[in-house]
Structure 1
């Protein structure tokens, strides 16, 4: 008598159910979906809360229709591998906005319009905004995500616009605006082929590395810094939020309104400025002259600058290639 191999038969039944499948849902202000929907929702948060789980190896895609989404959105750590795709003709067509402030919501870290806590998050063609204006800390987006990618996105605010907080993050072909410390935190983040726009005299970055062994820092490369509304007053590339703050500008166009000193000491907020690593390489524009930079700033050699290229600086132990991953987005 012949018997079917039970383990093989079981595998044939179980394996199809274990295969990961991407989940695609749609978000639109015109949607009549509700919390029992599976693929159509009126708000981004409702989609994040109620869309089906793609399972291990799958990815959740939100196709977000043009509109202004006046909501506070949280992507929890239980929603890794999520991609938001704005379906408008440009990022100004899909806007996620709120007007929360630190002074009225319990501090800086409770003021964000959007909070990303899940790893492997991606966004393309979307605007993240905090519309509170010049009223103190008001975060547009807080990102605590490893292997996060933002492509063709806009980040709009004033003070503390973009909290690049934790993990490896890659921003490409994007636009970031603000007035004071508007890129801040302790992620390892690269801003590539982007525009950094300052709207009043202040500081572009406030990076917060706390030890010399942390592989964190900000790299602005192949980008452009622009300025308006400064009334003839200079601005600075950054100031140290923590003692081992690290920021590198390279292959980037700097305007004439940049302070000749380049960097600010935050009135000795960092105990020992020799621990700070602020560096430049091969920048262009009227603000790229380094002859009057602060004595604790660094001018890199080509060999030193190589380690700050996106594929190297963000590689990690898993050999992540953010440039290749970003190229897969629309």
Structure 2
């Protein structure tokens, strides 16, 4: 750990991180790192910042996990969020695999930057990513989103609206980490880094009939749906409507923007 590792606990309510106080929070995950049980640290244990409180807000802040590139396993979470009703505005999240563990709760990411390679936005939260930049640094292949919804009864999912996707490595838009994974992209500018198939069933064909992967009115070289997997959806305006605004995360009840 280079500068600071932070854990915002469930007992801390209504916290705002002030950018002038801690502009950069950096952690380094090495191949030799072990957890308290002596096991290798993976997705769950490597977070630079772990937020468990509700109503957390961060702005103009950079959170990094600079993973050892020589490691066989590159899970290195910059930010893990388990609290409910969190807002991240102009926040930079920098890492590789599993950069953002958007684990549980309802969250709003606005005009933020998220860099990674494999499944670099993952978890089972219900989150709106609005006007964000998603930057792939995958070396061979990767994926932006890996949603983990396991039941059709869960009210969770990732919605990306007016986001810019760019980078240097080829990535899927999403993978079905959970059987009922839910991920949509609307009005997003997709660079050439998007793999033509677009989506992955995580090696489990049964998830093709249960995952909800959709695209609506996207642009750029990566938005061409000619070779997309047939079980993904080109959403109609009516189908896309629930995903397009802060209503998706019930924003009228808790957001003051």
Question: Same fold judged by TM-score > 0.5?
Answer: yes
Give the one of 238, 244, 253 matched to 1:320: 253
2:7–2:50 CA contact under 8 A, matched in 1: yes
Matching residue within 237, 240, 246 for 1:305 = 240
Shift of 1:292: 1.4
Q: Distance in 1 between matches of 2:54 and 2:137?
A: 31
1:71 aligns with 2:4: yes
Is the Cα–Cα contact under 8 Å of residues 100 and 132 in structure 1 kept in the other structure? yes
Q: TM-score, normalised by structure 1?
A: 0.71
Q: Which residue of 1 is the match for residue 121 of structure 2? A: 183
Which one has a bigger Cα radius of gyration?
Answer: 1
CA RMSD of the aligned region, Å? 1.9
- Given that residues 164 and 187 in structure 1 are in contact (C-alpha distance below 8 angstroms), is that contact kept between their aligned partners in structure 2? yes
**Shift of the alpha carbon at 1:204?**
0.5
User: What SS does structure 2 have at the residue aligned with 1:77?
Assistant: coil
- Following the alignment from structure 2 to structure 1, what is the Cα–Cα distance between the partners of residues 155 and 200? 22
Question: 1 CA distance for matches of 2:177 and 2:107?
Answer: 19
Map of 1:124-163 to 2, 5 A cutoff?
Answer: 124-134=59-69, 135=71, 136-163=74-101
- Pair 1:240–1:101, CA change in 2 (3 A): farther
Equivalent pair of 1:100/1:113 in contact (CA under 8 Å) = no
d(CA) in 2 for partners of 1:180 and 1:253? Answer: 20
Task: Please state whether the residue corresponding to 1:287 is helix, strand or coil.
Answer: helix
Aligned pairs (5 A) from 1:40-189: 70-87=3-20, 94-100=23-29, 104-105=34-35, 106-134=41-69, 135=71, 136-189=74-127
2:164 corresponds to: 224
Deviation at 1:299, TM superposition (A): 1.0
Length, aligned pairs only: 246
**Structure ranking higher in helix proportion:** 1
For the pair 1:282 / 2:239, whether they are aligned, the reply is: no
Q: Deviations over 1:176-227 (max 9, x none)?
A: 0001110000000111011000001211011001111211010111110001
Give how far 1:133 is off: 4.2
Do the aligned partners of 2:82 and 2:103 also contact (CA within 8 Å) in 1? yes
Q: Secondary structure at the match of 1:211?
A: coil
TM-score by length of 2: 0.90
In structure 2, what is the Cα distance between the partners aligned to 1:181 and 1:94?
A: 25
Separation (CA, whole Å) in 2 of partners of 1:321 and 1:78: 19
Deviation at 1:286, TM superposition (A): 0.9
Aligned to 1:237: 173
CA distance in 2, matches of 1:204, 1:101: 23
**Of 296, 306, 330, the match for 2:231:** 296
Aligned residue number for residue 207 of structure 1:
147
Alignment of 1:16-35 (within 5 A): none
Structure 2: runs of 5+ lacking an equivalent: 36-40
How far apart, CA to CA, are the structure 1 residues paired with 2:67 and 2:212? 32
Question: Unaligned stretches of 5+ in structure 1?
Answer: 1-67
Q: Deviations over 1:231-256 (max 9, x none)?
A: xxx32111111100010001000112
- 2:60 and 2:89 in contact (8 A); partners too: yes
Poorly superposed stretches of 4+, deviation over 6 Å: none
Q: Hey, what's the Cα distance between the residues in 2 that align with 1:310 and 1:144?
A: 22
